[in-house]
Amino acid sequence: MRTREGGLVEDEAAVIARVRAGEPEAYAELVRAHTAVALRAAVACGAGAEAEDVVQQAFFKAYRSLGSFKEGAAFRPWLLRIVVNETRNTVRSAGRQRAVAGREADLLGGEPRIPESADPAVAAEERERSRRLWEALDGLAEEQRQVVIHRYLLELDETETALALGWPRGTVKSRLSRALRKLGRVLVAAESESEGGEGRG
Protein backbone atom coordinates (compact mmCIF):
# COMPACT_ATOMS: atom_id res chain seq x y z
CA MET A 1 0.00 0.00 0.00
CA ARG A 2 1.22 3.55 -0.72
CA THR A 3 1.13 5.65 2.41
CA ARG A 4 0.05 9.30 2.56
CA GLU A 5 3.64 10.24 3.37
CA GLY A 6 4.74 8.73 0.06
CA GLY A 7 6.43 5.67 1.57
CA LEU A 8 5.73 2.40 -0.15
CA VAL A 9 4.90 -0.95 1.33
CA GLU A 10 3.88 -3.30 -1.45
CA ASP A 11 2.13 -5.75 0.84
CA GLU A 12 1.99 -5.02 4.56
CA ALA A 13 0.64 -8.47 5.40
CA ALA A 14 3.63 -10.04 3.63
CA VAL A 15 6.08 -7.78 5.49
CA ILE A 16 4.47 -8.66 8.83
CA ALA A 17 4.59 -12.36 7.92
CA ARG A 18 8.33 -12.02 7.16
CA VAL A 19 8.96 -10.38 10.56
CA ARG A 20 6.98 -13.12 12.32
CA ALA A 21 8.94 -15.75 10.39
CA GLY A 22 12.21 -14.51 11.87
CA GLU A 23 13.24 -11.70 9.53
CA PRO A 24 13.25 -8.71 11.93
CA GLU A 25 15.01 -6.41 9.42
CA ALA A 26 11.79 -6.39 7.33
CA TYR A 27 10.17 -4.36 10.13
CA ALA A 28 12.20 -1.34 8.94
CA GLU A 29 9.86 -1.10 5.93
CA LEU A 30 6.88 -0.53 8.24
CA VAL A 31 8.85 1.94 10.34
CA ARG A 32 9.82 3.99 7.26
CA ALA A 33 6.26 3.98 5.89
CA HIS A 34 4.54 5.04 9.11
CA THR A 35 7.03 7.22 11.02
CA ALA A 36 5.69 10.57 9.71
CA VAL A 37 2.07 9.90 10.67
CA ALA A 38 3.15 8.43 14.03
CA LEU A 39 5.11 11.62 14.80
CA ARG A 40 2.11 13.77 13.81
CA ALA A 41 -0.08 11.70 16.15
CA ALA A 42 2.35 12.05 19.06
CA VAL A 43 2.70 15.81 18.58
CA ALA A 44 -1.05 16.36 18.13
CA CYS A 45 -1.71 14.45 21.35
CA GLY A 46 0.75 16.60 23.31
CA ALA A 47 4.08 14.69 23.32
CA GLY A 48 6.05 17.82 22.39
CA ALA A 49 9.83 17.42 22.63
CA GLU A 50 9.35 13.76 23.58
CA ALA A 51 7.51 12.95 20.32
CA GLU A 52 10.45 11.09 18.75
CA ASP A 53 11.04 9.05 21.91
CA VAL A 54 7.33 8.26 22.13
CA VAL A 55 7.25 7.08 18.52
CA GLN A 56 10.40 4.98 18.96
CA GLN A 57 8.89 3.34 22.04
CA ALA A 58 5.58 2.78 20.21
CA PHE A 59 7.34 1.06 17.29
CA PHE A 60 9.24 -1.10 19.77
CA LYS A 61 6.02 -2.08 21.57
CA ALA A 62 4.30 -2.76 18.24
CA TYR A 63 7.22 -4.96 17.19
CA ARG A 64 7.01 -6.96 20.42
CA SER A 65 3.24 -7.34 20.00
CA LEU A 66 3.29 -8.41 16.34
CA GLY A 67 2.64 -11.99 17.47
CA SER A 68 -0.84 -10.94 18.63
CA PHE A 69 -1.51 -8.65 15.63
CA LYS A 70 -4.66 -9.84 13.86
CA GLU A 71 -3.84 -11.27 10.45
CA GLY A 72 -5.29 -9.18 7.62
CA ALA A 73 -5.89 -6.14 9.89
CA ALA A 74 -4.61 -2.67 8.96
CA PHE A 75 -1.25 -1.87 10.58
CA ARG A 76 -1.54 1.94 10.67
CA PRO A 77 -4.63 2.30 12.95
CA TRP A 78 -3.22 -0.40 15.26
CA LEU A 79 0.13 1.42 15.48
CA LEU A 80 -1.52 4.80 16.07
CA ARG A 81 -3.48 3.37 18.95
CA ILE A 82 -0.16 2.37 20.55
CA VAL A 83 1.30 5.84 19.80
CA VAL A 84 -1.68 7.61 21.42
CA ASN A 85 -1.49 5.40 24.54
CA GLU A 86 2.26 5.90 24.79
CA THR A 87 1.83 9.69 24.40
CA ARG A 88 -0.85 9.73 27.11
CA ASN A 89 1.47 7.87 29.50
CA THR A 90 4.38 10.20 28.71
CA VAL A 91 2.33 13.38 29.14
CA ARG A 92 0.78 12.06 32.35
CA SER A 93 4.15 11.10 33.85
CA ALA A 94 5.64 14.46 32.84
CA GLY A 95 2.68 16.12 34.55
CA ARG A 96 2.18 18.76 31.90
CA GLN A 97 0.38 19.64 28.67
CA ARG A 98 2.06 21.18 25.66
CA ALA A 99 1.50 24.84 24.97
CA VAL A 100 -1.00 25.37 22.15
CA ALA A 101 1.29 27.48 19.97
CA GLY A 102 4.30 25.20 20.48
CA ARG A 103 2.32 22.09 19.60
CA GLU A 104 0.98 23.70 16.45
CA ALA A 105 4.48 24.74 15.35
CA ASP A 106 5.77 21.20 15.96
CA LEU A 107 2.86 19.68 14.06
CA LEU A 108 3.54 21.87 11.04
CA GLY A 109 7.17 20.83 11.10
CA GLY A 110 8.31 24.40 11.56
CA GLU A 111 7.41 25.28 7.96
CA PRO A 112 5.59 28.56 7.40
CA ARG A 113 2.05 27.97 6.15
CA ILE A 114 2.13 31.23 4.20
CA PRO A 115 4.97 32.26 1.87
CA GLU A 116 7.23 34.96 3.31
CA SER A 117 6.22 37.26 0.46
CA ALA A 118 2.62 37.24 1.70
CA ASP A 119 1.04 40.25 3.36
CA PRO A 120 2.17 40.24 7.04
CA ALA A 121 -1.38 41.14 8.09
CA VAL A 122 -2.71 38.03 6.32
CA ALA A 123 0.00 35.90 7.96
CA ALA A 124 -0.86 37.31 11.40
CA GLU A 125 -4.55 36.66 10.81
CA GLU A 126 -3.79 33.07 9.77
CA ARG A 127 -1.69 32.50 12.91
CA GLU A 128 -4.47 33.93 15.08
CA ARG A 129 -7.08 31.69 13.39
CA SER A 130 -4.80 28.70 13.94
CA ARG A 131 -4.30 29.60 17.60
CA ARG A 132 -8.07 29.85 18.12
CA LEU A 133 -8.57 26.48 16.45
CA TRP A 134 -6.04 24.80 18.78
CA GLU A 135 -7.60 26.47 21.82
CA ALA A 136 -11.04 25.28 20.73
CA LEU A 137 -9.69 21.78 20.15
CA ASP A 138 -8.13 21.78 23.63
CA GLY A 139 -11.53 22.74 25.05
CA LEU A 140 -13.17 19.55 23.75
CA ALA A 141 -13.69 16.44 25.84
CA GLU A 142 -10.82 13.95 25.39
CA GLU A 143 -12.89 11.55 23.22
CA GLN A 144 -14.04 14.38 20.95
CA ARG A 145 -10.52 15.79 20.64
CA GLN A 146 -9.13 12.36 19.75
CA VAL A 147 -11.71 11.72 17.04
CA VAL A 148 -11.06 15.12 15.40
CA ILE A 149 -7.27 14.58 15.55
CA HIS A 150 -7.52 11.11 13.97
CA ARG A 151 -10.00 12.07 11.24
CA TYR A 152 -8.57 15.43 10.20
CA LEU A 153 -4.97 15.86 11.41
CA LEU A 154 -3.94 12.25 10.81
CA GLU A 155 -6.26 11.91 7.80
CA LEU A 156 -7.63 8.50 8.74
CA ASP A 157 -10.94 7.43 7.26
CA GLU A 158 -13.88 6.47 9.47
CA THR A 159 -12.99 2.77 9.62
CA GLU A 160 -9.32 3.45 10.39
CA THR A 161 -10.33 5.96 13.09
CA ALA A 162 -12.63 3.37 14.67
CA LEU A 163 -9.80 0.82 14.66
CA ALA A 164 -7.22 3.27 16.02
CA LEU A 165 -9.48 4.40 18.86
CA GLY A 166 -11.03 0.99 19.52
CA TRP A 167 -14.58 2.32 19.07
CA PRO A 168 -17.49 1.14 16.91
CA ARG A 169 -17.93 3.18 13.69
CA GLY A 170 -21.24 4.55 14.97
CA THR A 171 -19.46 5.98 18.02
CA VAL A 172 -16.86 7.63 15.77
CA LYS A 173 -19.66 9.22 13.71
CA SER A 174 -21.64 10.52 16.68
CA ARG A 175 -18.61 11.82 18.61
CA LEU A 176 -17.20 13.48 15.50
CA SER A 177 -20.53 15.12 14.76
CA ARG A 178 -20.82 16.48 18.33
CA ALA A 179 -17.17 17.59 18.32
CA LEU A 180 -17.53 19.50 15.04
CA ARG A 181 -20.73 21.21 16.23
CA LYS A 182 -19.00 22.28 19.45
CA LEU A 183 -15.87 23.42 17.59
CA GLY A 184 -18.07 25.45 15.23
CA ARG A 185 -19.86 27.19 18.13
CA VAL A 186 -16.60 27.94 19.98
CA LEU A 187 -14.88 29.30 16.86
CA VAL A 188 -17.85 31.49 15.88
CA ALA A 189 -17.96 32.90 19.44
CA ALA A 190 -14.18 33.52 19.40
CA GLU A 191 -14.46 35.21 15.99
CA SER A 192 -17.22 37.60 17.13
CA GLU A 193 -15.38 38.31 20.38
CA SER A 194 -12.26 39.16 18.38
CA GLU A 195 -14.21 41.44 16.02
CA GLY A 196 -15.96 43.09 19.01
CA GLY A 197 -12.58 43.71 20.64
CA GLU A 198 -11.24 45.33 17.48
CA GLY A 199 -14.35 47.52 17.23
CA ARG A 200 -13.81 48.78 20.78
CA GLY A 201 -10.09 49.50 20.21
CATH number for the 1-111 domain, one of 1.10.1740.10, 1.20.1250.20, 2.40.110.10, 1.10.150.20? Answer: 1.10.1740.10
Instruction: Provide CATH 1.10.1740.10 ranges for the chain.
Output: 1-111
Q: What does the chain look like in DSSP terms, one character per residue?
A: -B-TTS-B-S-HHHHHHHHHTT-GGGHHHHHHHHHHHHHHHHHHTT-GGGHHHHHHHHHHHHHHTGGGSPTT--HHHHHHHHHHHHHHHHHHHHT----HHHHHHHHTTT--SS-TTS-HHHHHHHHHHHHHHHHHHHTS-HHHHHHHIIIIIS---HHHHHHHHT--HHHHHHHHHHHHHHHHHHHHHHHHHHHHHHHH-
pLDDT by residue, tens only, the chain of 201 residues: 444 444 557 789 999 999 999 999 999 999 999 999 999 999 998 888 899 999 999 999 999 999 899 988 999 999 999 999 999 888 877 654 444 445 655 665 544 454 555 577 777 777 787 788 888 888 899 999 999 999 988 989 999 999 999 999 999 999 999 999 999 998 888 778 777 665 554
Instruction: Provide CATH 1.10.10.10 ranges for the chain.
Output: 112-201
CATH architecture designation of domain 112-201: Orthogonal Bundle (1.10)
pLDDT at residue number 101: 47
